[in-house]
Structure 1
């Protein structure tokens, strides 16, 4: 590797302290999974949410199902919106703040399309003007219904919408228009202090020529969300479940996301990370959770960490990939698993100041194009160089090659040395 010295003698400008880190969980109802929305029971939800709050977590991310919310292009069911509002209220009663995802979309390997987008009614959900307008109206409706809730963190467009590109071909420019339209609609009724966000699975960061781009993730919406899963790029199997590559993956994803942002102070939210078996054996899950949270907490500008997920999928439900049955902090009977204890203890440690964020004055230069984005994913030359540097005890940031000669930008990020991959 080649090291370049930069901004000799310069220090990072004074800035406000990062707000208290947020720690939460993606809420998966224990009884019936997301099919629970067909016969929503606030008492069952309160039981689940009380368990989550007892771990010392401060928020949940929640999901309704798009076909139940909007069964017709021009009809949004008031009863379904009321259910969602009631869930936000129940979470508040349990002491939890809530991020609401709107267009579901995709959840745990299943896709949920309203019938007006399917078969001979097929509309491309990203490019058909009327389909996009309908989704925008759904986001407006949710914003109008939920904006007054004091425990609302904000609205997200949907869960990993880029999972839908296989059946809805789209270009990067069309993705940008889609995201801009829906984010504007989500923002329309929200107070200024609430978030409007979007999310994508790891193909946005690692997938060559994937239409959802790193730039879209890092520049649209109010925070950058990352979902650094250990099965992406076969990371855990490639390097081993106890490897540094696995235990620093969320940290790496946070630093990679910061490189693509135009605002050096833009926050990054590790919004999904978890310990899926067999990629992470159950015996290794507690240590994986501890390492993941501690390492991510060492990143400046981290908004927070939201674990996936709260409760295991009950094995009475069929046809899920095996890993989906084991991802919960609680099992399907509501019993806390060892990983829940580990996560709760580690969150308490971070809040007590035991794993503070530290400045990163050395950065590894990422030189790739949309067609070679995979170099930054597991198995890629850049990924492995960053992990090699991290193993020496360094705290490497990530800088795009296009910004490597921008002294003002480097100074704003506190970067004094650049390391180049041979």
Structure 2
């Protein structure tokens, strides 16, 4: 087992392989009435698959039900899960500010309805969220298997123009919010690997206040969440070259914004959605996603979404959420889980990738808002990259800080696309 302090950000290391932990019993509602025996069974199965870490998601309203109340018992529950993970040889990333999970929002009552406030710009709210980050970090700081904190699971979706009730903000305000949360994490856990976990609106939507520069320059690694229901699968088809190389492309797009050549890239979410893939496609997709991502230099790790299927007894989920797990609701390994385990075992034996080849130019212009939709599926940069990849050029992306004519791609990003499936 290793901790973030063993491998500083930017250092060369073998990529890590893990899974986003979705409790088998009760899904994330399990945090209401935590059963550590059940958690231990789930985590032991994950460890037995050959994985080395999990990302966990304590629910924000349980941790901080009032703006000035952070529940000690809820913090202790998170520490208990981290300690159980240690007992089975797993490191842990703890995601703070939940936020948004599988199409459901988990926002405390002091932020909506009669108490509606902007979570990103209201000074009292921002300070209270930072207090939560510090409190959770302090609870976990001495856990030897803590990798670090990730700031919200796609919390940037609350500001997106396609959200049903967005919290409006500017690019500078989004950057300041991110800096504030990362500074709180660093204060509490000085040696942790702390990241911001934005979904792909930050990379593809021209009007989005959270930008690629923020994702690539703030925190200790650049995080991407790669989902083929973002228009890639719908436009090109389940077994298409574009689906096969979607995560690899996204990592190379992220590299284009990196401030230093050795900045780590983390494929923190990727999954095999049955809204796009047939059952027979899933093992192929799992294996090829891992294989193609491994051709990206400076890959910190791959964290699959997700560990366990959502029980069919739980209502109102998009249908794909009931099938994304590596294990079923009885804890039995699925074909996707076996494929991921095999892909990880092979990846651990693979050579370090060489530098990438041809650079495809992405003209983004200058702040405050960036011209980035050409990088989305169907956009001119996306398709130039895929054409170069087909011809064997192993392309990357070069960001050019000036405007140029470009064809916009499909920006049906993230949760909105999944919810409609």
TM-score, normalization by structure 1: 0.89
Number of equivalences: 387
Aligned residue for 1:302? 299
Equivalent residue in structure 2 for 1:84, among 78, 82, 86: 78
Aligned residue for 1:147? 141
Residue 325 (structure 1) aligned with residue 322 (structure 2): yes
Residues 110-259 of structure 1 mapped to structure 2, 5 A cutoff? 110-165=104-159, 166=163, 167-192=166-191, 194-232=192-230, 234-259=231-256
| Larger of the two Rg values belongs to structure | 1
* Alpha-carbon distance in structure 2 between the residues aligned to 1:164 and 1:322: 22
Q: Over the residues paired in the alignment, what is the CA RMSD in angstroms? A: 1.5
Deviation track 1:107-157 (CA, whole Å, cap 9, x = no partner) reads: 110001111111111110000001100100000001111010000000111
Conserved? CA contact 2:211–2:370, under 8 Å: no
* Alpha-carbon distance in structure 1 between the residues aligned to 2:118 and 2:180: 15
Unaligned 5+ residue runs, structure 1? 1-15, 404-419
Residue 391 (structure 1) aligned with residue 358 (structure 2): no
3-state SS, counterpart of residue 74 of structure 1: coil
Residue 264 (structure 1) aligned with residue 258 (structure 2): no
Equivalent residue in structure 1 for 2:357, among 347, 361, 379: 361
* Alpha-carbon distance in structure 2 between the residues aligned to 1:40 and 1:215: 38
Aligned residue for 2:50? 56
* Cα shift at 1:321: 0.6
* Alpha-carbon distance in structure 2 between the residues aligned to 1:52 and 1:132: 35
3-state SS, counterpart of residue 180 of structure 2: helix
Conserved? CA contact 1:209–1:373, under 8 Å: no
* Cα shift at 1:362: 2.1
* Alpha-carbon distance in structure 1 between the residues aligned to 2:225 and 2:385: 18
Conserved? CA contact 1:27–1:310, under 8 Å: yes
Unaligned 5+ residue runs, structure 2? 1-9, 408-421
* Cα shift at 1:341: 0.8
3-state SS, counterpart of residue 54 of structure 2: strand
* Cα shift at 1:371: 5.5
* Alpha-carbon distance in structure 2 between the residues aligned to 1:174 and 1:38: 33
Residue 346 (structure 1) aligned with residue 343 (structure 2): yes
41-50 or 159-168, which moves further after superposition?
159-168
* Cα shift at 1:356: 3.8
Conserved? CA contact 1:350–1:356, under 8 Å: no
Equivalent residue in structure 2 for 1:289, among 286, 291, 297: 286
* Alpha-carbon distance in structure 1 between the residues aligned to 2:215 and 2:394: 23
Conserved? CA contact 2:234–2:276, under 8 Å: yes
3-state SS, counterpart of residue 188 of structure 1: helix
TM-score, normalization by structure 2: 0.90
* Alpha-carbon distance in structure 2 between the residues aligned to 1:356 and 1:322: 38
